[in-house]
Structure 1
Amino acid sequence: MTQATFAPHHYTAQLAEKKVRLSELLAPFSAPEPEVFESPREHYRLRAEFRLWREGEARHYAMFEPGDKRKAILLQDFPIASRRINELMPRLQAAWADPALGFKLFQVEFLTTLADDALITLCYHRPLDDAWQAAAERLASELGASIVGRSKGKRSVIGRDYVEEEFQVAGRTYRYRQPEGAFTQPNGEVCRKMLTWACDALGQRSDDLLELYCGNGNFTLPLATRVRKVLATEISKTSVNAAQANLAGNGVDNVTLVRLCAEELTQALNEVRPFRRLAGIDLKSYEFGTVFVDPPRAGMDPDTCELTRRFERILYISCNPQTLVQNIAQLQDTHRIERCALFDQFPYTQHMESGVLLVRR
């Protein structure tokens, strides 16, 4: 999204159009009317990435239209980004005047939270030396933010390499470690609404939950309070480490986390082959009633989709309605849509985040 498409006065109409589109996509499956969860009109995006663009002696934050890396859109502020990012942008820009920080700096990334934590990643086309380290330490102290410096083969951390987030869900506060470079939901307020909806859709259960693609435990923490126990899987080592820290930090002790991709877990549950990473875990001890999936844009592969068919309930969060529809088409002979929702993670764009609860017919 660029500044040109930022139009708060059109937000209500744009959201209504998304609801119509999602309803049309799900109409062949006799879906109920989507529940709609709107976004704040501005300052909703908790992370942002900018290239640096030189004009004469001055350098600016820059973004580009998709597919066009030659014509830069120069920015002084970024109204869709969090207030913390907008507060940090001019102060960081002023620091570029110091050659120790500004020399061959080509990209800046901001990661912030609703809890007002901040981390700045500075990317360079040169090695990071002692002068950079000293200047970055001063800057981190002045900005009240952590800083990560990146150059080829080098990563230097001042402060922490993660931010800390807090979400209030169903009367409880959950605290999350969100690592630099790992996936996190960009719209914090909408993420909180997604977590609340997912907990409500799951309900209070006496059986167990299987979670695929658990990431840093974003959904795992609140969903674990609704079931007897959880088996959660994730392939990214960074996300697994964050999820383990988040489970421990929130005192959640009924989750077993396994570093497997969804395809590997499918093979394990189908007893195609054993995995050393499942040593000591008795899969047959679980009484799975629900599977929760939050897959990448490609959706679930056919084998994983077939695996979910064996569950009474499938709780599905999707970042791509097209692949969601493909997966539902594979499942529609055994499952029906009981609830669906639209989460407006990305206002002023065509992107739609959605959720469905499928239950066995």
Structure 2
Amino acid sequence: MGTAFDPAGYDQQLEEKRQRLMSLLQPFAAPEPEVFTSPREHFRLRAEFRLWYEQGQPHYAMFEPGDNRRPILIEQLPIASKRINELMMPLLEACKADPLLGRKLFQIEFLTTLTGEALVTLCYHRPIDEEWDAAATALAQQLDILLIGRSRGRKRVLQRDHVLEALSVNGRTWHYQQTEGGFTQPNGQVNQHMLAWAQEVAGDNADDLLELYCGNGNFTLPLSTRFRRVLATELSKSSVRSALENIALNQVDNVTLVRLSSEEVTQALTGVREFRRLQGIDLSGYDFGTVFVDPPRAGLDPATLELVKGYQRILYISCNPQTLAANLDELHETHRVVRCALFDQFPYTHHMESGVLLERRGFSAASSTAAAARRPGGRPE
């Protein structure tokens, strides 16, 4: 994550990212990227800190990349949410005052929400038991937080192991269970921009959406309003559990979720292999016009690249513009970039999130929507 914090230089840093993205997308005749800014401080909803002990006293510590020997001792972190900053020192002082909480404590992790909930995980180099539970329960009540204790092979959850987030997307509020240790977008305000942009560029469709790498359903929920049906896939068991909870929490009834990797989805859709996890799901009954992908930093693997080329539209969210450009080098043979965006999820770092909408060459979105509405099972919006 780094420790640089320079609000005065934010606009220049963002412009450099925009220029870098434009340079990467220039070979594909992409339009100007839409740029979505971040708050300049208190934007990061999760953070983790190692503890560094000096004269037996613990301090929050961060390190420059590649250097874990020279700590930067901190009491506040301006990029972290206000809730994290409010909790940092009272939590540390309570742990220093009570050996049941502080002995062999080596790491503290925070997960907060835009709604103000906070889940804190205390990590130990010793076993923790019922005595720890009693002290931790008092601390959780004192600070109005959810608290988890972790030691080797043990996880003690006092109340629940997740926070409940509420995200506003184009006038509707979506509710999300975000689990401790699970992946969530760290910048909640920018995440709302990402979801709104994806929903808007998806348009209104009478056919179906195939979603790969759906995670906890972050994009799945808003996109479900733009398609007749959604088949969403994810490999991580914990993410699948959260996604199913979030689908139920928001009373979404047109999403089917399957635990498959992107490679397995490719095998299933191309008829190479059958999966018991797909029993009762009629893949032939879907009419996929759009595929949505939000892959890991490595981008799309060759087989998945070949699969997505077969769809009229590809909506691609990327956390690594270099691998996005590499994937576009192949996708550009069959598709053209019609929309693109820069989402500044990670101010004061070189990292950026980006999005592109690709349409198959010769494809007309308007005529396709009209044709889909005339098909059996088509659902005009």
Aligned to 2:89: 90
Aligned to 1:213: 213
* Amino acid of the structure 2 residue aligned with 1:60: H
Distance 2:167 2:130 in 1: 38
Aligned to 1:342: 342
Aligned to 2:108: 108
**Deviation of residue 170 (structure 1)?**
1.5
Q: How does 1:122-271 map to 2 (within 5 A)?
A: 122-271=122-271
Aligned to 2:67: 68
1:305 aligns with 2:340: no
SS at match of 1:96: helix
**Deviation of residue 156 (structure 1)?**
0.4
* Amino acid of the structure 2 residue aligned with 1:188: G
Aligned to 2:369: none
**Deviation of residue 57 (structure 1)?**
2.9
Aligned to 1:314: 314
**Deviation of residue 49 (structure 1)?**
0.5
Aligned to 2:326: 326
**Deviation of residue 56 (structure 1)?**
1.1
**Deviation of residue 279 (structure 1)?**
0.4
SS at match of 1:225: helix
Q: How does 1:16-55 map to 2 (within 5 A)?
A: 16-55=15-54
Deviation per CA, 1:305-326, whole angstroms, max 9, x where unpaired?
1100010000000000011011
- Superposed CA RMSD in Å reads 0.7
* Amino acid of the structure 2 residue aligned with 1:354: S
**Deviation of residue 2 (structure 1)?**
4.0
Aligned to 2:295: 295
Distance 2:138 2:300 in 1: 46
Which stretches of structure 1, 4 residues or longer, exceed 2 Å deviation after superposition? none
**Deviation of residue 91 (structure 1)?**
1.0
Distance 2:90 2:34 in 1: 41
Distance 1:197 1:287 in 2: 23
* Amino acid of the structure 2 residue aligned with 1:327: N
Gaps of 5+ in 2: 362-381
1:277 aligns with 2:274: no
**Deviation of residue 81 (structure 1)?**
0.2
**Deviation of residue 337 (structure 1)?**
0.2
Distance 1:210 1:31 in 2: 24
Contact kept in structure 1, 2:233 and 2:261, CA below 8 Å: yes
**Deviation of residue 55 (structure 1)?**
1.1
* Amino acid of the structure 2 residue aligned with 1:340: C
Distance 1:240 1:99 in 2: 38
SS at match of 1:164: strand
Distance 2:95 2:48 in 1: 16
Aligned to 1:79: 78
Distance 1:311 1:43 in 2: 40
**Deviation of residue 264 (structure 1)?**
0.4
Aligned to 1:13: 12
The TM-score normalised by the length of structure 1 is: 0.99
SS at match of 2:333: coil
Distance 1:262 1:145 in 2: 37
Distance 1:54 1:287 in 2: 59
* Amino acid of the structure 2 residue aligned with 1:40: P
* Amino acid of the structure 1 residue aligned with 2:100: A
**Deviation of residue 160 (structure 1)?**
1.1
SS at match of 1:356: strand
Contact kept in structure 1, 2:2 and 2:65, CA below 8 Å: no
Distance 2:290 2:341 in 1: 18
Deviation per CA, 1:120-171, whole angstroms, max 9, x where unpaired?
0111110012221111111111111111111111000011100110111111
Distance 1:171 1:346 in 2: 25
Distance 2:262 2:90 in 1: 43
Distance 1:135 1:293 in 2: 44
- The number of equivalent residue pairs is 360
Deviation per CA, 1:65-92, whole angstroms, max 9, x where unpaired?
1111100010110000000000010111
SS at match of 2:226: coil
**Deviation of residue 344 (structure 1)?**
0.2
Contact kept in structure 1, 2:216 and 2:246, CA below 8 Å: yes
* Amino acid of the structure 1 residue aligned with 2:19: V
* Amino acid of the structure 2 residue aligned with 1:150: R
Gaps of 5+ in 1: none
Contact kept in structure 1, 2:342 and 2:355, CA below 8 Å: yes
Distance 2:15 2:271 in 1: 46
Distance 1:329 1:63 in 2: 38
